[in-house]
Amino acid sequence: MDEQQISQKNQFGLNIAIPKKTIQEIQKVAQQEVGNITINPFIEFLDKNDEVFSGQVAKEIRKYQSQIYTLGQVMREGQSHSSFNTKA
């Protein structure tokens, strides 16, 4: 084949033929790597942090904020208020 036939067959200089053995090795490695991928760490993360995703943590935060507010109100009511005598 001359250069013109090669360039017409495979444009942009991609006229390299990859051996079948190389393709088979690539497929073998890819299948092994796909087999090694596990989603267990992701599932464990979701299980461990289920309370965050279900809204339990937000509920507890609101509960504690309410308790802090109520405690602050009680403490403010217990303080003696100084007042000025404006009837002088």
Band of the pLDDT at 6, cuts 50, 70, 90?
A: very low
Distance CA(70)–CA(82), nearest Å, equals: 23
Q: Which token pair is 88? A: 């002088």
**What pTM was computed for the model?**
0.41
DSSP state of 10: S
Write the pLDDT tens digit of every residue in 8-54: 555 555 667 778 898 899 888 888 887 777 777 878 888 888 888 88
Q: What is the pLDDT of residue 5?
A: 47
Residue 63 has pLDDT above 50, yes or no: yes
Mean pLDDT of 69-85: 79
Torsion angle defined by CA atoms of residues 71, 73, 77 and 79, in that order, rounded to the nearest 10 degrees:
70
